[in-house]
A = this chain, B = another copy of it.
Amino acid sequence: MANPPIILVRPQLGQNIGKTARAMLNFGLTDLRLVDPRDGWPNPDAGPSAAGAGEVLDKARVYPTVDTAIEGCSFVYAATVRSRDMAKPAATPREAAAQMRGLILAGENPAIMFGPERSGLTNEDIALADAVLTVPINPDYGSLNLAQAVILVAYELFQESDVTPAYQPAHPDGLAKKEELIGLMQQIEGILDKKGYFKSKDRRDTQRRTLRNLLQNAEFSSQEIQTMRGVVKSLAWEDRE
């Protein structure tokens, strides 16, 4: 699992540090780093809002500067509200998550830093980043708080793969080949013909198509086709002396 550090740069409220820890742990992130938190550390307001994610707070490390907090990291994302014109690659949380998984597989150490609640990261902070991370948001109303921005990034990191889930066949042993299905249809139709099921020449085509649709939509496996053929045969059995 990807577990990149979440770096809060000069966070203001202890409550938001606690909420960030909770957001992180929900998606398996545990490496919290604090750069120069306004009210010092530990902060008594953090624990209550962490809702059981105290372990993340207990392990949090404090650094005096961004420079020192990103030591050991090899690729840093700077979360910003708008992708400022910083001549840096921009990524959405989804793109960043995919990139980070790739980076980690390649032996790199990515990290994401978030700025203070009110003002966000400074251009000075962002200058230390490799890429800018921006959440696509309602252009007429952008009001994500710190923990919400973190939870969206953490959520994206937790998603295993971005691709559409594989088609789940109804049968682990696979669907029947079409020739098997058609064999069953022909068997049934032959018997029905003999027994006078089809009311008239006109209606026969419609009745037959209804029946074929029904059998088709049942998505039988090979094994089930065999069973069905046996059942049909037994049903039609006539004991002739």
Of B52, B144, B148, the residue contacting A141 (CB under 8 A) is B52
A155 to B48, CA, bound (A): 27
A158 contact set on B, CB distance < 8 A: 136-138
Q: Is the interface of A mostly helix, strand, loop or mixed?
A: loop
> Is A2 interfacial (CB 8 A cutoff)?
no
Give the bracket for the number of chain A residues in contact with chain B.
Answer: 20 to 34
Residue from the set A51, A142, A143 with the largest chain B CB neighbour count within 10 Å: A143
A188 to B51, CA, bound (A): 46
Q: For residues 143 through 164 of chain A, which have their beta carbon under 8 Å from a beta carbon of chain B?
A: 143-145, 148, 151-152, 155, 158-160, 162-164
Binary CB contact string for chain A from 52 to 76 against chain B (1 if under 8 A, 0 otherwise):
1100000000000000000000000
Q: For residues 123 through 181 of chain A, which have their beta carbon under 8 Å from a beta carbon of chain B?
A: 135-138, 141-145, 148, 151-152, 155, 158-160, 162-165
Q: For residues 23 through 45 of chain A, which have their beta carbon under 8 Å from a beta carbon of chain B?
A: 23, 25-28
> Is A224 interfacial (CB 8 A cutoff)?
no
Residue from the set A28, A151, A155 with the largest chain B CB neighbour count within 10 Å: A155
A156 to B83, CA, bound (A): 20
Asked if residues A138 and B95 are in contact (CB atoms below 8 Å), the reply is no
* Interchain Cβ contacts under 8 Å between A and B, 8 examples: A25-B138, A27-B138, A51-B143, A53-B141, A53-B143, A136-B159, A148-B148, A164-B165
